[in-house]
Structure 1
């Protein structure tokens, strides 16, 4: 019994250590002792750092402060200049997609750019040309170059409106050549027109005075060519027959016009607004198949979106 008591006393003495603090006794386990030593060590390191900082501050503010370069320590957060505008700048574009629409009057002219005599029988106010265009503009010579090259594909629709009861047809009196002939079999002609539809392929070199890195933000001047292929030529007239009933007739025929041709194109624009002049460089009709050698031209106003 005594032996058991002695072993119990010895075990308790190894687990319990009495420390007097303010007159009180505390029991500390071995694990607690290890933790306490760690805390004391960290506290001593912190006090050493704070002491070094106080010494440095005293030296910095004292007579030895000249040895510390002020430009390295006198910078505050408020004085730091963080320029983040570069992260939001748009990269200058070198190419951009383009959609355009143009509308304006067209006419037949001679080689000297004067009006053809056929225009005496054409209603200029009802003779129009419309074009839709899808393409691309590319910069030539770098991202900030003002020189741009435009290509794409367009669809054109031209209308020549005749007056004085005439229409376009192959005249047997002129050995089948195209001519403006009177409409027969009608008591009244309300309207007579000729539709010419084409596929257009423009290639235009522009000088764009927009801010660097942008498209169509300022004055724009362009010069180039436009190839075209005719896919529809149809003459239509409306009126009343001899009995007063409504009558319409439509004839699809090339009327000896050229299937392929090309035009010289000039364009002046400001921002999205464009004024375009177009004049075909080949006669509109085949040689010797019309009473005079005429060229198809137009002046259109439109817009270009990109």
Structure 2
């Protein structure tokens, strides 16, 4: 069902600056918005400039032009600001994106008429605690991963749930994923697919050895604390970002984020399953690489 919502009047367009197609499409989108009398700005985002962040203050909505990686990078900022996000696919993988280079004009026309709805997806909040002090924190859209480093040897990961012991894994790593993340890394290691609106965490080991092998879906509101216990390197990675090296006494605390990722949608409620089936049956990355 499509709700009639307020049409945005101030739109920030963020293309992946490393993709010529995305830059060209963003220029077309800018011209379209100009013709419609919509205030906008195009802010190209460079992958190599990891500290580069657009100022989201004063905007009603954000449009990304690129793949899922671009959407995730911008999504972290939108979670903080509570801004709705609309993805336009121009990269290799666009499972999270709502529009393509063939449908964006029709989609933006509907957007400016207020004919859309906002899907709220749970995000996580993760903290790295070292020697009793919080040294880093992240807003998480897909997953938190604690894993072995360069040495090909499993690590022991203790999991505390709601301040009580849950279990320990001997594995290459452990994934704590959102419903959104259940179709990312977690899916690649055999995890279940969760409906996007579900507000539960998914716990899934990577290559477990004599440990609990199955994925576990935690109750809504659960809080998790991870401890990597090993005599060799262990790492922490959030949403595929550059890893952080962990020490034996470090803790990784994870809980539901009070803010949600707000995704602009035009389709019917079952869009997720239709899109998932199409994506799984016709992998766009394999097609682009011409694997026969």
Q: Which category describes the TM-score, using the shorter chain as reference length? A: under 0.3
Greater fraction strand: 1
Please report the TM-score for the alignment, with normalisation by the length of structure 2. Answer: 0.22
Higher relative contact order (CA 8 A, sep 6+): 2
Greater C-alpha Rg: 1
Please report the TM-score for the alignment, with normalisation by the length of structure 1. Answer: 0.21
